[in-house]
Chain A
């Protein structure tokens, strides 16, 4: 057995060029596959992260009616109890309570339906990415009276700029129509242009003054210390406050979560296709190696090498090739993926298109470490299967025939 392995190993290097071509193609196949997947995975993770950081957060609490009617009176029940509970819960990293009013925003150039979100500016600075997304102007610092932050898309649509005035028209909690003027202090831009076209941030106290019930809130957004605790915390809160609706980010934006699950399938299907193509290459080259060594294999059978050993020899030759390619391919991929995971790849040329899908123009490649392990198993399996065919062909050789053909 030891000798068979030794012969197989040396056979790999008999035709150096050919073996190197196979090894190189395997390395390139693995690398390109893993890198592409790391890129799409990175894009997706960024998309999720950016959505979570700017508007989704880990958990949101609303009045169950709120998402249907967006009625100002569908506010969160027991708001004070909830905030107290969140203060003391050790799964919670931070939270923010917001007033949300559906309004018509108008400028001299037109009007748009928007959500006016009243936030606690100091708390929100820590809690969400809103302050980091300011493109122009400031985040609640200069303008004293009724400042507002608007999305870039909305600013374009209403031809607004910083220091310009805009007014909201809305129905208050007593059913009266109100109209009130705000002044644009900053323009923000997130990865999602849909978000940027429909949301306006103002100070919570500015909205409070307009309302009859000044303790009402419409949304409590929560960040957990660990995103994986979202479901546990959701259950806890739902049980404690059954009259409210508690949702995780996956409940609110199921497409984001399901894309992540799809990634796993995408990974396997994509890599399987690449490996399948490679395995045909390997099988073909090994078959050539068998056929051109007919005489030698015939001689080996004549002098007493049995079929099992011939079979194993060919099998080992194939396996060795993948044993060389696999670590090289994986290490190369790992290095590239970690490098571009830090440095990022600039896709700004096509970013116009990407951003409307909620993507960032910088892509940071990332592949969870268990994928490297999975690909190793998958590759070993595929090469093993692809070696069976040439190895079986070797068994069909008739020693008398093989020895005869001079």
Chain B
């Protein structure tokens, strides 16, 4: 069963006379429980692709089916609601609300979803423990290291029980030990809880741990490999 299915998506950016094809007829499927890396040179369309399947950006052409629903047809308020309920995001930086503590950041999404106080409290503690931050529940982002902040972001992404987590270069600002630490956590969540992760990266150490690697170039998929 496909969680995500893209049908011939293209994204055109017009800049003056120049037309940039950030995505060019991309058709690809993702199944439940995948751990997939999107790779490719800078400007190949990785971010554009992730934003398209995450409903942050709408493709110029084609369909994005999430559980067989075409999200390109949703209006912007419905999209926000869709993202809230279905997708966890981890960005390269600025993931957290600076004025809230780690625990409040994790709880925030659940609060938006209307999860009760008690469950919020329990789940946010569990998740922060899962990313190894049980000691730092009440710290604000600026009191955490970059790696710790990204772990909070992963915890937050999972808090809403999304169908999948999209991470755009989540380790780009991290040193190597923080990188492997974050990957361990994602890997474990993928194995234990069957959480689907799709992430873009330039980092060979991250690519090495992916179970499937999709390579983009000039907005086209040039290879799609499953690793066993």
Contact = CB atoms under 8 A, between A and B. Distances in A.
A304 B95 contact: no
Interface residues of A, number: 22
A39 B109 CA distance: 54
B94 A400 contact: no
B98 A307 contact: no
A404 B43 CA distance: 12
B190 interface: no
A406 interface: yes
A309 B100 CA distance: 16
Contact of B80 (A295, A301, A400): A301
Contact of A303 (B57, B84, B92): B84
Interface stretch (A3-11, A122-130, A229-237): A3-11
Interface in A1-44: 3, 7, 10-11, 14
Contacts of A341: none
Contacts of B80: 301, 304-307
A305 B100 CA distance: 15
A295 B84 contact: no
Contacts of B81: 304, 306
A60 to B, nearest CB: 68
A403 interface: yes
B47 interface: yes
Given A7-B97, A10-B100, A305 B47 contact: no
A296 interface: yes
Q: How large is the interface on B (under 10, 10 to 19, 20 to 34, 35 or more residues)?
A: 20 to 34
Given A304-B83, A306-B80, A306-B81, A299 B100 contact: no
B67 to A, nearest CB: 18
Q: Which of B54, B56, B100 has the most CB of A within 10 A?
A: B56
Interface in A230-246: none
A296 B97 contact: yes
B91 interface: yes
A406 B47 CA distance: 12
A307 B79 CA distance: 11
B164 interface: no
Nearest to A1: B111
A7 B100 contact: yes
A300 interface: yes
A297 to B, nearest CB: 10
Given A400-B56, A400-B57, A403-B56, A303 B89 contact: yes
Contacts of B83: 302-304
B108 interface: yes
Nearest to B156: A303
A344 interface: no
Contacts of B111: 3
A400 B91 contact: no
Contacts of A304: 80-81, 83-85, 109, 112-113, 160
Contacts of A302: 54, 56, 83, 89, 91
B51 interface: yes
A399 interface: yes
Nearest to A405: B94
A11 B99 contact: yes
A306 B113 CA distance: 12
B2 to A, nearest CB: 23
Interface in B26-57: 47, 51, 54, 56-57
Interface of B: 47, 51, 54, 56-57, 76-77, 80-81, 83-85, 89, 91-95, 97-100, 108-109, 111-113, 156, 160, 168
Q: Which 3 A-B pairs have the closest CB atoms?
A: A304-B84, A10-B99, A400-B57
21 contacts: A7-B97, A7-B100, A296-B97, A299-B91, A299-B94, A302-B54, A302-B56, A302-B83, A303-B84, A303-B109, A303-B156, A304-B83, A304-B84, A304-B85, A306-B81, A400-B57, A403-B91, A403-B168, A404-B47, A406-B92, A406-B93
Given A304-B83, A306-B81, A403-B56, 15 more contacts: A10-B99, A10-B100, A296-B94, A296-B97, A296-B98, A299-B94, A302-B89, A302-B91, A303-B108, A304-B85, A306-B80, A399-B56, A400-B51, A400-B57, A403-B91
